[in-house]
Copies of this chain bind each other. A is one copy, B any other.
Amino acid sequence: MRRLMTPRFSPLEGGLFSSVSKADVGEGAGELIKAGVDVMAWADPFFPDPSIPASVQTVMAEAVASGLPSHYTMPIGSADLRGVIAGKLGTRNGITADPSRNILVTPGSDSGLLYAMMPFLEQGDEVLVPDPSYPSNFANCRLLGAVPVSVPLRAEDGYQLDPAALEAALTPRTKMVLISHPNNPTGTVFRRDTLEALARFVVAHDLILVCDQAFEDHVFDNIEMVSPATLPGMWERTVTVFSVSKGLGLSGFRVGYLVADDRIMDVLYGGAVNVLGATSTLSQIGAAAALKDETILPAYFDILDRRRRLAHAAFSAVPGVRMQMPESGILSWLDIRALGTATEVSAHILRTARVLVNEGEPYGAEGAGHLRIVHGCFMDETRAVDAYSRIAGALQLLSRDSQLLPA
């Protein structure tokens, strides 16, 4: 029945009739996990180790025992969680938000991201997307009939967005700029001057900014984390996408939230039941508990700061691998063009090191010859470091074969 589908959907492949390389399609990584492979291809902190904090477990256990989370919250999210989120937005993002007018809880930030884009995009509209970035940033445009236009990020610029590249990509059909900030997969935190230039561009050309801040919670080296919605002229034209998946290590809860001006939010509230339904009540209770516990983020910050250094030391020591120190989060981004294609090198790592990593191509044209490795896996640091070593060992073999190393 593909012939009855729209051209936006009919090209999609779920792995049932062809092999697909994306780890998140069909059974994808599921089969490999069963076969004992270490999966470092999910942006899922501490996977596969237990990681619900004790304080959150207590609150959720009480909720289960009450028997009450069988019931819906309002489609826009529970008032309690929205209140907690408003507090966090004030303290940590510098955003003054009314919980009943500016916040919409979503069942994870994936559906939140698509919903943030949906009201604005018409067939043929163009969306400027930094390249590389999260695969959905490109795919979502196509699903909505719009055209993603790549704006290259260069290693030599530290993967900062180049205002001149934005201007060069602008056409009369440009409707939106869509960024992940910090960026997935590069971990880049866009600096204030970059974002101020972006804001001037967005305002000058009457565009919408969708800014996915799923990775905002762990920004290292005292780099300033600026929310573009706080910049002049941007509040009324920005939809910001947040998540508890990454920072709080609660990806399985599927809780995200959108923040926007009430004139945008009136429309998003109006369609919430149709597009999103509502978010799991128990997950909302757990997310509120996690946001309230101020000990979680600092503890994870220290763990993940150490991990990125260990991962960087292991991977960047291999001749032929180029990698910058991650500025945020849980992701390593490796340029392995000297060793082979991403398909070749990831297959070699899977075979030799028994680790699944991400090929770079789904992250955009600039992702060719790159790998994304989720170094924030495992709660157990020994296991994480062992996996880094096995990956590095596999890369070393390729490096030697490529005569980049003396045999």
Contacts and interface: CB of A to CB of B under 8 A. Distances in A.
Contacts of A87: none
B107 A267 contact: no
Interface in A59-85: 60-61, 64-76, 79
Total copies of this chain within the assembly: 2
Given A52-B69, A70-B250, A119 B5 contact: yes
Contacts of A48: 68, 71
B1 A276 contact: no
A252 B266 contact: no
A201 to B, nearest CB: 16
Given A16-B262, A143-B274, 14 more contacts: A1-B261, A4-B237, A6-B119, A6-B121, A14-B267, A14-B270, A15-B269, A17-B263, A27-B76, A44-B72, A52-B64, A52-B68, A107-B108, A282-B283
Contacts of A68: 48, 50, 52, 252
Contact of A281 (B5, B252, B281): B252
A371 to B, nearest CB: 19
A321 interface: no
Given A61-B64, A273-B24, A280 B262 contact: no
16 contacts: A5-B119, A9-B118, A12-B119, A17-B262, A17-B263, A26-B74, A26-B269, A27-B79, A51-B67, A57-B67, A64-B64, A72-B251, A253-B280, A253-B282, A254-B281, A282-B282
A376 to B, nearest CB: 12
Interface in A256-288: 261-283, 286
Closest 8 A/B residue pairs (Cβ)? A14-B269, A50-B67, A110-B277, A12-B270, A252-B281, A108-B277, A9-B119, A14-B270
